[in-house]
Chain A
Amino acid sequence: GNSVTQMEGPVTLSEEAFLTINCTYTATGYPSLFWYVQYPGEGLQLLLKATKADDKGSNKGFEATYRKETTSFHLEKGSVQVSDSAVYFCALNAGNNRKLIWGLGTSLAVNP
């Protein structure tokens, strides 16, 4: 079946450090891939997405590249800020339907 595996948190970094949150997936066909972010006390927001192999999604300094050969969609940011502290969710949509398959989320804490 379809599944998403994210690295376990929490991840704690100092401001301006480099961030990588790993995400790998298992899916039939050609899924679309997403990163959502959940700030404290808020709902989930779409951070970026990629719909086909080798696509790079980017937003707010975050990037992720759809790697079909390694079935991965790792999230990266070159220099994190305290305001990036949140929970990050990787998800996939494996067909033309409404169902997203979610990872467990990775909590990120950035210290000044």
Chain B
Amino acid sequence: ETGVTQTPRHLVMGMTNKKSLKCEQHLGHNAMYWYKQSAKKPLELMFVYSLEERVENNSVPSRFSPECPNSSHLFLHLHTLQPEDSALYLCASSQEASGGWETQYFGPGTRLLVL
């Protein structure tokens, strides 16, 4: 596997379900991101992890819970979601260097439908 992979690619869940999205990066990067992509809206940054520590949490509802067990893996745990949470969820990674900001590399996304 190369680059950034995400599983599952598609997910349908009811509002009472609990599910998790998985992201794995094979690039040796030290920062990982979750984004939400909805139609007609700009890409929304949800969470950022740097060196496995959460460094940004952009007012995301608590029904989304991230986990970063190591620098290569990132999870997004979902519970009691709402239909408006239906979207494409993108994972990205980058290599952070002191004094600089590096290019983010994206996975293919998980298409989530909440019924």
Output the nearest chain A residue to B91 by Cβ-Cβ distance.
Answer: A43
Interface residues of B in 47-97 (CB under 8 A from A): 48, 50, 55-56, 90, 92, 94, 96
Q: How far is the CA of A102 from the CA of B45 in the complex (A)?
A: 10
Q: Say whether B4 faces chain A, with CB atoms less than 8 Å apart.
A: yes
Q: Are B42 and A104 in contact (CB under 8 A)?
A: yes
| CB contact under 8 A between A99 and B56, given known A43-B107, A44-B106 | yes
A93-107 interface bits toward B, Cβ cutoff 8 Å, 1 = contact, 0 = none: 100111111111000
Q: Say whether A89 faces chain B, with CB atoms less than 8 Å apart.
A: yes
Q: How far is the CA of A93 from the CA of B100 in the complex (A)?
A: 11
Q: Which of A46, A96, A102, A103 has the most CB of B within 10 A?
A: A102
| CB contact under 8 A between A96 and B43, given known A43-B107, A43-B109 | no
Q: Are B101 and A44 in contact (CB under 8 A)?
A: no
A74-105 interface bits toward B, Cβ cutoff 8 Å, 1 = contact, 0 = none: 00000000000000010001001111111110
| Chain B residues whose C-beta falls within 8 Å of the C-beta of A102 in the assembled complex | 42-43
Q: Are B40 and A104 in contact (CB under 8 A)?
A: yes
The 10 nearest A-B residue pairs measured at CB: A43-B106, A102-B43, A44-B106, A102-B42, A43-B108, A43-B107, A46-B103, A42-B108, A98-B48, A43-B109
Q: Say whether A32 faces chain B, with CB atoms less than 8 Å apart.
A: yes
Q: Are A43 and B90 in contact (CB under 8 A)?
A: yes
Q: Say whether A41 faces chain B, with CB atoms less than 8 Å apart.
A: yes
| Chain A residues whose C-beta falls within 8 Å of the C-beta of B43 in the assembled complex | 44, 89, 100, 102
| Chain A residues whose C-beta falls within 8 Å of the C-beta of B106 in the assembled complex | 36, 43-45
Q: Are A43 and B99 in contact (CB under 8 A)?
A: no
A30-48 interface bits toward B, Cβ cutoff 8 Å, 1 = contact, 0 = none: 0010001000011111100
